[in-house]
Chain A
Amino acid sequence: MLRWYIIRTLLKKEAWRHLADRGGIFVAFLLIGCFALACMFGRRFIGDQILVGTVGVCYVDEVDLGQHTPAWLSHLRSHPPEADLRIRFRRHSQLPIGLLFYGENTGAVQIRDGGTDHNGQPRYVIMVWFPGSDAGVMEPYLRWFWKETFAFFGQQRRPLQIDTEGPLLFPSGSMLVRVSPQSGGKRHFLTYSRLENDQKWFSDLPPPLEIRVEYHQLQNRADMLSFAATALITFAMWFFSVFLMPALTCEERERGVLLAQALSPASTLEIFAAKFLFYPLAGILLGVILAAIYKISVIVSLFFWIALVTTAIGYLGLGLAIASLAPNQRKASMGAMCYLLAIALLLFISLQFRVPLAQHFVLERHCVRLLHASLVGTASAYRYEMIAAIVLSLFWTGLAVRLFRRHGWQ
């Protein structure tokens, strides 16, 4: 049973410690001050810049296609990208009526009805909507889109005639397109390789499906400040729960103060509860302040709070695990730093060398996306991340409790 007077005392003790040694408070104010300045003066300088690969979610929308989804799009739905890309399919009926709005850091591939050709066959218009000024941010999504599109029509023995004035964003390597002579600014592509490999089909070649590809710049932009806010919120949580908490817990243990508390009427559970409350709450408070500086409306978002609490719990578990394993304060601090570096390297290697499975076991992989999605308003696309983050948070917390009970204050 938890006794409030004991938890209150332990919370007060933690607060006194930070007031006596103000390093943590200084870092918190530094984060708030720097980010506030960045938001006040930085938007006009960095607002239009964008990093390649910063489209968090790509919508594949069926616009003007009616209730019947072409088999081609069904194929796309059943063949999602292998790489770690976030695709959201929306049928015509699922789209809002009127103007389509895409949030920050999102892109879209709209498949639209392009009328019929002279044979009465349907034509399609592919509109690629990209944030910022560089359509290259859509490259990972388009690579998947065209790969699966070519695969589908290859199986159908149906050539494609693709007209575009935009950049070449088709799959590299096994190119399935032939460039026809440029005329009037337009470039024409025709799928051919499958047909070449099987000459007997060539004679009864059906007329190509005509697809026009257009590139459009979204009015919104990939907001660099949203990435900065996400990074700072994540850092705030890490700083309080993974860095400060283990370091101070180890200091208490090293000095025997933790044992003194354990021998007092405070139970293990209550000592836990106080630490569980103080450090995540401090991280959450700082995270909320940073989020509010970025966008005040975020703090009424339920998804934001869920993402924040999940991250805080996960980091608390990590922090307690480090506190339980590290023999002293210095090693706890080093452990927290090493963890940060190891995770960064793991994610980098996982992305660079296409080892997608590894990163799914990393809490940050999910929590960072959740936090960013909650900041830019694309939360609904991150159900998997939410479940994964909750599972990983519970795992770390369970492990930490077990470790701490075993030799937390010895």
Chain B
Amino acid sequence: MSDAAIEIEDLVICYGDFVAVDGLNLTVPKGQLFGLLGPNGAGKTSTIRILIGQKRPTSGSIRVLGHDVLTDWQAIKPMFGYVPDRENHFDDFTGRRNLQIFADLYRVPYRRIDECLETVELLDAADVVVRGYSLGMRRKLLLARALLHKPAVLYLDEPTANLDIHSAAVVRKTLRALVAEGTTVVLTTHNMQEVEEICDRVAILCKGRLVALDTPLSLRRQHTERLVDVVLLDGSRHVFNMDIPEQRQRLAHHVQSDAVASIKTREFNFREAFLKLTGTEFT
């Protein structure tokens, strides 16, 4: 049995003449929280649409938990959950009733509804009509719905977008807890901090191609610029590159001569790394 939850081989997705994904090869091991990043038009959404069976690829093969997405779709359906980027609830129903419908479809006992609502801290609002929910509550309800049947693979499209700090933290905590239980989570996000905080691995797509695939830490190592910003007592500003011996010595000299007003190392900047890798601004 393969350890891969998702195996994508030579995936090509075309919309007419436009190539959205161009020969993507990607393997997501089981039990990882995998981030899929890229600028608009990079092919993230197209890839997700293939994974959730809403589009057929132009060519290539995709296997989820050992099942071919194209030929064995019905077997895959109960195994994954999907949190779309926009909420899609029945507004006239309560949160609980929304989940009841899907609990019935998945043949999940109703007590699981309360568990999921509690996980996303919505139990108190369970019997409130969704029309009265805030945006954050609606998004958390999406996650609760996706968790109902304890999916082995969970796809999330920008799960923390527009959430307040507390709600975003709840979602992140929930995702980490799921991964700890062995669930494979694939998320797309624009939140760099989120990627660094919770993702085990990150794939960066640009113009339909994979430009980077690594852990956030490794990306940090590869792309951190070892620069130090210094403001001297005379008001002058300097930048010292720690990779150049002369500049290291000059910085040391300034520090020893007590001429430094402030000193600050430049932290790893995912945005800059992303810009370098993709040649485009993150949107």
Interface of A toward B, CB cutoff 8 Å = 5-6, 8-10, 12-13, 16-17, 20-21, 255-257, 259-267, 410
Residue of B77, B87, B93, B106 near A16 (CB, 8 A) is B93
Distance A267 CA – B53 CA, assembled complex (angstroms): 12
List 15 other contacts, CB 8 Å, given A10-B105, A13-B90, A265-B105.
A5-B104, A5-B107, A9-B105, A12-B101, A16-B90, A17-B92, A20-B93, A256-B87, A257-B89, A259-B54, A260-B82, A263-B53, A264-B102, A264-B105, A264-B106
14 A-B contact pairs sorted by A residue (CB < 8 Å): A5-B104, A5-B107, A16-B90, A20-B90, A20-B93, A256-B87, A257-B88, A257-B90, A259-B84, A263-B52, A263-B54, A264-B106, A265-B77, A267-B74
- Contact status B92-A263, CB under 8 Å: no
Chain B residues within 8 Å of A261, by CB: 105
Complex-state Cα separation, A13 to B105, whole angstroms: 11
Given that A20-B92, A259-B54 are contacting pairs, would A9 and B104 also be in contact in the complex, using a CB cutoff of 8 Å? yes
A266 CB contacts on chain B under 8 angstroms: 105
Nearest neighbor of A6 in chain B, beta-carbon distance: B105
| Chain B min CB distance to A26 (Å) | 15
B86 at the interface (CB under 8 A from A): yes
Name B residues whose Cβ lies closer than 8 Å to a Cβ of A. Answer: 52-54, 74, 77-78, 80, 82, 84, 86-93, 97, 101-102, 104-107, 145
**A9 surroundings in chain B (CB, below 8 A):** 101, 104-105
Q: Does B77 lie within 8 Å of A264, measured CB to CB?
A: yes
Q: Quick check: B105 and A255 within 8 Å, CB to CB? A: no
Does A259 lie within 8 Å of B105, measured CB to CB?
Answer: no
- Docked Cα-Cα span, A410 to B72, in Å, equals 21
Q: Could you tell me the distance in whole angstroms from the C-beta of B52 to the nearest C-beta in chain A?
A: 6
CB distance from A251 to the nearest CB of B (A): 10
A-B residue pairs, 6 tightest by C-beta: A256-B88, A20-B92, A9-B104, A264-B105, A257-B88, A13-B101
Q: How far is the CA of A21 from the CA of B97 in the complex (A)?
A: 15
Question: Is B84 a contact of A256 with CB atoms below 8 Å?
Answer: yes
Shortest C-beta distance, A345 to chain B (Å), equals 36
A260–B80 CA distance with the chains assembled, in angstroms: 12
Chain A residues whose CB sits within 8 angstroms of the CB of B102 once the complex forms: 260, 264
Kindly list chain B residues whose C-beta atoms are within 8 Å of the C-beta of A6.
Answer: 105
Question: Which one of B101, B106, B107 has the greatest number of beta carbons of chain A within 10 Å?
Answer: B101
Chain B's nearest CB lies how many Å from the CB of A265? Answer: 5
Which residues does chain B contribute within 8 Å of A10, judged by CB atoms?
A: 105
Do B107 and A410 touch (CB < 8 A)?
no
In the complex, A17 Cα to B101 Cα: how many Å? 12
B88 touches A255 (CB 8 A): yes
Residue of B52, B78, B86, B105 with most partner-chain A CB within 10 A: B105
Contact call B104/A12, Cβ cutoff below 8 A: yes
**How long is the Cα–Cα vector from A155 to B208 in the complex, in angstroms?**
82
A10 to B100, CA, bound (A): 11
Please indicate the chain A residues that have their CB under 8 angstroms from the CB of B91 in the complex: 255
- How long is the Cα–Cα vector from A163 to B252 in the complex, in angstroms? 132
Q: Which residue of B lies closest to A21 (CB)?
A: B92
Q: Is the CB of B89 within 8 A of A263?
A: no
State whether A17 and B90 are in contact (beta carbons under 8 Å apart), knowing that A259-B54, A263-B52, A265-B78 are contacts in the complex: yes
Instruction: Check A256–B86 contact: CB distance below 8 A.
Output: yes
Q: How far is the CA of A17 from the CA of B53 in the complex (A)?
A: 27
A residues in contact with B145, CB < 8 Å = 260
Which chain A residues border B92 with CB–CB below 8 Å? 17, 20-21
B90 CB contacts on chain A under 8 angstroms:
13, 16-17, 20, 257
Question: Among the interface residues A5, A10, A263, which one has the most CB atoms of the partner chain B within 10 A?
Answer: A263
Residues of B within 8 Å of A257, CB to CB, are 88-90
In the bound complex, what is the Cα–Cα distance between A267 and B82 (angstroms)?
A: 16
Determine whether the beta carbon of A265 is less than 8 Å from that of B106: yes
A324 to chain B, nearest CB (A): 16
Contacts of B93 in A (CB 8 A): 16, 20
Q: Please name all residues of chain A whose beta carbon is closer than 8 Å to the beta carbon of B106 when the two chains form the complex.
A: 264-265
- Alpha-carbon gap, A262 to B88, bound state (A): 13
